[in-house]
Amino acid sequence: MEIDNVEEEEFVLSRNYFLAKDLAASGKKSTHKLSDIDIVDEQELRAAALDIEPKHEKEIALLINSYKSLYSKWVFELRCGFGLLMYGFGSKKVLLEDFASTALNEYSVVVINGYLQSVNIKQVVITLAEVLWDQLKSKRQTACKNLPKAQQPFNSRSMDDLLAFLDGSKVGENDCFVCVVIHNIDGPGLRDFETQQCLAQIASCTHIRLIASIDHVNAPLLWDKKMVHTQFKWCWYHVPTFAPYKFEGMFFPLILAHGSNAQSAKTVAIVLQSLTPNAQSVFKILAEYQLSHPDEEGMPFDNLYTTARERFLVSSQVTLNSHLTEFKDHELVKTRRHSDGQDCLYIPLASEALEKLLSDMSQ
């Protein structure tokens, strides 16, 4: 009897499953589109977000305070030459800055905000060299008697010279180092391979100690085995704070809000960073044409192809079409019909936003 009941239940479940599939297949597709969402002004949405009442503040404060017992261990590991990598849910900005201000007050500290869209890595290395030079000069009377003289300003030196100075092969003081705090080492301005390689070289220098945080689930994929074990030499710490990403999220556009011209340009710039240099140059041609011909519907395809070919950016129309497909997929470029019947390409941005975008691209 029980076997019959089980078989009957399985039959009913199977029948209902196939009936549901038939109903789903026969139903009409939804006509709703993402563009139908009633979006609001960005400032209004950000103000509403600030008014959200935080929860569990007492418990979060106790949790963050509990990490202070690890400060002495973290300092010891830094002195031994290891790097500290903090991960876990919640912003770790306040935690890292509290650690730096209370436990690292004997050392010079440089803070890098990796959550910003653009970070000048060469300027970072110059700053580290200048800070280390000042620190070494202050110890000249006691330990650093063999301090070499600065032959030229740091901002005129090559990257290799700066890294060699930070590595300290000519300086006899091994306990003299600069601590670098990187908020979001996996941030959009730092996550390309070349920048991560440079950061790994910086971390391996004798007079540099790195403290960093990550939040992206795929952040460990940024590094290979050599970078992790012999350059960064990470000590991993799970330190969830459950704190809101108030500072980190300030520089990202809100999905459900109308963006300003500056914010729109910033959003497009983020997408362009993921494209090839030739694709960026083709986009720049289109933007310059649109600014110089404001009364036209856009740039004809033939004109764009001729200009791009003359600048050796494309070798055929197939190559140009592949770039345009990427632009259209990301909604960077759209098409509309010219009065003479030919299709023209245009960028759906206001002139002010387009000018700002070109200015950012030329830097």
The span from the CA of 94 to the CA of 241, in Å, is 9
Q: Does the pLDDT at position 267 exceed 90?
A: no
Residue type, 350: A
pLDDT digits (tens, 9 = 90+) for 307-349: 999 998 988 888 898 888 878 877 788 888 877 778 889 988 8
With pLDDT > 90 as the criterion, what percentage of the chain qualifies? Answer: 36
Given this model, what pLDDT does residue 144 score?
A: 44
Phi/psi of residue 311, nearest 5 degrees: -95, 10
Q: Would you state the torsion angle of the CA atoms of residues 269, 275, 281, 284, taken in this order, to the nearest 10 degrees?
A: -30
In angstroms, the CA 169 to CA 205 distance is 10
Distances (CA, A) of 144 to 169, 172, 189: 13, 6, 36
How far apart, in whole angstroms, are the C-alpha atoms of residue 111 and residue 286?
38
Sheet bearing 108-113, strands edge to edge? 108-113, 178-183, 208-213, 83-87, 234-238
- pTM for the full predicted model: 0.61
- Which CATH number is correct for 260-362, 1.20.120.420, 1.10.10.10, 3.30.720.210, 3.30.1050.10? 1.10.10.10
The domain segmentation of the chain, as residue ranges, is 57-248, 260-362
Confidence of residue 174 (pLDDT cuts 50, 70, 90): low
Across 280-304, b (16+ Cβ under 10 Å) vs e yields bbbbbbbbebbeeeeeebbbbbebb
Let me know: does 243 contact 94? Beta carbons within 8 Å. Answer: yes
pLDDT in tens, 92-142: 999 999 999 999 998 999 999 898 877 888 889 999 998 888 888 777 645
Each residue's pLDDT tens digit, 3-16? 566 667 776 666 67
Ranges 112-121, 147-156, 179-188, most confident: 179-188
Please give the average per-residue pLDDT across 154-171, as a whole number.
80
List beta partners, residue 180.
Answer: 110, 210
Provide CATH code, domain 57-248.
3.40.50.300
| Per-residue pLDDT, 202 | 95
Q: Which helix (H) or strand (E) holds 82?
A: none
- The pLDDT tens digits of the residues spanning 184-196 come to 999 888 988 899 9
